[in-house]
Amino acid sequence: MIDRKEENTAVLVVDVQGDFTRLMNGSLAVEGTDQAYLDQVTAETRRLKSLGFPAFATQDWHPADHISFVTRHEGHNPFDIIDLDGRDQILWPPHCIQNTLNAQVLVDNRLFEAIVKKGMDPGYDSYSGFFDDGGHDTGLDALLKTHGITDLIMFGLTTDYCARATAMDARSLGYGVRLIKDLCRGVAPDTTQTALEKMAEAGVVIV
């Protein structure tokens, strides 16, 4: 438990949005995302913020015709993997469509200095909050640097995709990263386990 302020350290809440939750009957609902989970995430964000840590969030924010949506690929089923310009692309149920209820960040938005949107380009997925698959920068790195941030305390959804990718990019960019595992939930147990291992190998401290 982090119980006092540390300089140059921010909280980063990843993609805590209705479509990833059971609570909101999300299209890509992940196990263990009930009201109790949301209450825990909100309470921890509030607690860390009241200790003096600035908080930021990321938000998956797709156009209705996003390339990652299975509906764009005739003859495919959700969770099929296709080749997209040499990259593996998982085909997801449509989720986090811009301006829909289930794209909203479920943690009190007033707690955040900023909410950084990602995945707006219809042609590229963006699990990472820093860069999309086409290498386009979301501005998160510059934003954190403006606030003097060198270290991140991260949690959110999903462990195996967006939390993983964001944590890995954060490490590549030189941030110190702690991931609060109990406040993360994954799409599937095996990929979640692999994600935790890969993050630890990259120097993410799993707490």
Residues that bind ligand VGL (CB under 6 A): 15, 20, 60, 92, 127, 157-158, 161-162
- Identify the residue whose tokens are 């590549």: 172
Q: Is 15 in the site for Zn ion (CB under 5 A)?
A: no
Cβ atoms 57, 108 nearer than 8 A:
no
**If DSSP states are collapsed to H, E and C, what string results for 75-102?**
CCCCCCEEEECCEEEECECCCCECCCHH
Residue closest to Zn ion, measured at CB: 60
Q: Which is nearer to Zn ion, 12 or 149 (CB)?
A: 12
Q: Which is nearer to Zn ion, 123 or 176 (CB)?
A: 123
Cβ atoms 156, 117 nearer than 8 A:
no
Q: Which is nearer to ligand VGL, 70 or 162 (CB)?
A: 162
15 binds, among Zn ion, ligand VGL, none (CB under 5 to 8 A by kind): ligand VGL
Residues 36-75 that bind Zn ion (CB under 5 A): 60
Catalytic-role residue among 60, 125, 132, 162:
162
Catalytic-role residue among 60, 118, 132, 169:
118
- Identify the residue whose tokens are 């119980």: 3
157 binds, among Zn ion, ligand VGL, none (CB under 5 to 8 A by kind): ligand VGL
How many residues comprise the chain? 207
71 preceded by a cis bond (ω within 30 of 0): no
Element (H, E) at 117: strand 114-118
- 60 belongs to the catalytic site: no
Q: Is 141 in the site for Zn ion (CB under 5 A)?
A: no
- 162 belongs to the catalytic site: yes
169 binds, among Zn ion, ligand VGL, none (CB under 5 to 8 A by kind): none
Tokens of 81: 């993997």
- 80 belongs to the catalytic site: no
- By CB atoms closer than 10 A (0-12, 13-18, 19+), residue 146 is exposed
Catalytic-role residue among 15, 19, 132, 141:
15
The least CB distance from residue 89 to ligand VGL, in Å, is 10
45 binds, among Zn ion, ligand VGL, none (CB under 5 to 8 A by kind): none
* Backbone torsion region of residue 179, taken as left when φ is above 0, otherwise alpha when ψ lies between -120 and 50, otherwise beta: beta
**What is the set of active-site residues?**
15, 118, 162
